[in-house]
Amino acid sequence: MTLSIISQDGTVFNYTNAVACVTCGEYEDDSGFGFMAYLNSDSENGIVVAEYDDEEKFNAVKSDFSKWLHENIDAVFEFPS
């Protein structure tokens, strides 16, 4: 399970083999904030791995995820509810 991320619904993505990139940001309709994973074979259809209504919570998770990418990528990152 190393190099994996786990979405809020429990789906596990192997970061090295399956994920081309993960993007995050505010939705265009201002309905909240989310993280999306794009699989290596599909750069147009993202899979939502986490969603937040609260900007403060989103920014905290974004900070934790960024830290994980830089320092702990050999471990599993699980997006909190």
For the whole model, what pTM was predicted? 0.75
Q: What is the pLDDT of residues 3-18, one digit of tens each?
A: 788 889 988 887 776 6
In angstroms, the CA 59 to CA 41 distance is 29
Tell me which residue of 58, 55, 59, 35 sits closest to 47, measured CA to CA.
35
Tell me which residue of 78, 69, 80 sits closest to 12, measured CA to CA.
78
Q: What's the confidence (pLDDT) of residue 60?
A: 93
Q: What is the pLDDT of residues 16-68, one digit of tens each?
A: 766 666 777 877 777 789 888 877 777 777 788 899 998 899 999 989 988 88
